[in-house]
Structure 1
């Protein structure tokens, strides 16, 4: 599924994968979230409800641009730097490179996420 983020008003394209967690995330769209910096590698925000982890691997190593669900905390993580393998991390999609710089530039960003028009 193609989605669009508006990071502090600037549009960024992204794609969700076909996992149960990604489909569950898509069912919550549109969302407006305040993402805060975490470990100078990602922006995180709580979701309205937990996502399905059915069929998910036990963890993942994120790349810059990845959208992920961190199951132990129930939050969305959007990475602007890569990271090491984390148990409970489920990659649900990836955003265009143009969003990475925007995420790395501030401690907090407002993001609206919605399904992209075809």
Structure 2
């Protein structure tokens, strides 16, 4: 019996070396996919390799207007190829839906470029971000954790709290200002 145990231990620790296990990937953003599927809420946070959307180092000068019924908000796009690709599709009118009592999401007419985009970032209330795995845009009215595949687009210039009250399927018009 001890010979069998010795052989089993030798086989487990012997000759070949397996590659090291990959570290766990950061969590996905909690946006809704095309089929209405939702990713699990993130539990870990990693530092963002780029400034947050509201950081003056990344802030651009192009402004956009978001309008839904009587609600009107302005935002300033970040300086990035992804934000440029978003601006090129404006104006657009899209239905929005709520996700996780944190963000309103919508799908732009076409996918956005993620050239030079960070691996992910941590959105704050007032950020607009593109979730590249599913191709949707989120307008955050609550802070959220770092999420892989989330690319900053813009920062609202005012209070995002009124977005929380907009019902699903509200038409949101976004245009250059």
User: How many residues align structurally?
Assistant: 115
Equivalence map 1:13-92=2 (5 Å): 13-92=74-153
Equivalence map 1:99-114=2 (5 Å): 100-108=160-168, 109-114=170-175
Following the alignment from structure 1 to structure 2, what is the Cα–Cα distance between the partners of residues 105 and 70?
A: 22
Native 8 Å contact 1:7 1:102 kept in 2: no
Please list every run of 5 or more consecutive structure 2 residues that lacks an aligned counterpart in the other structure: 1-61
- Scaled by the length of structure 1, what TM-score is found? 0.92
Native 8 Å contact 1:32 1:113 kept in 2: yes
Q: Which of the pair has the greater relative contact order for Cα pairs under 8 Å at 6+ separation? A: 1
RMSD: 1.1
Native 8 Å contact 1:53 1:71 kept in 2: yes
Following the alignment from structure 1 to structure 2, what is the Cα–Cα distance between the partners of residues 31 and 95?
A: 17
Following the alignment from structure 2 to structure 1, what is the Cα–Cα distance between the partners of residues 114 and 166?
A: 30
Following the alignment from structure 2 to structure 1, what is the Cα–Cα distance between the partners of residues 129 and 112?
A: 11
Larger relative strand fraction:
1
- CA shift, 1:44, in A, is 0.5
- CA shift, 1:80, in A, is 0.4
Following the alignment from structure 1 to structure 2, what is the Cα–Cα distance between the partners of residues 4 and 26?
A: 11
Moved over 4 A (4+): none
- CA shift, 1:48, in A, is 0.8
Q: Highest Rg: 1 or 2? A: 2
Please list every run of 5 or more consecutive structure 1 residues that lacks an aligned counterpart in the other structure: none
Following the alignment from structure 1 to structure 2, what is the Cα–Cα distance between the partners of residues 90 and 8?
A: 27
Following the alignment from structure 1 to structure 2, what is the Cα–Cα distance between the partners of residues 36 and 11?
A: 17
- CA shift, 1:46, in A, is 1.2
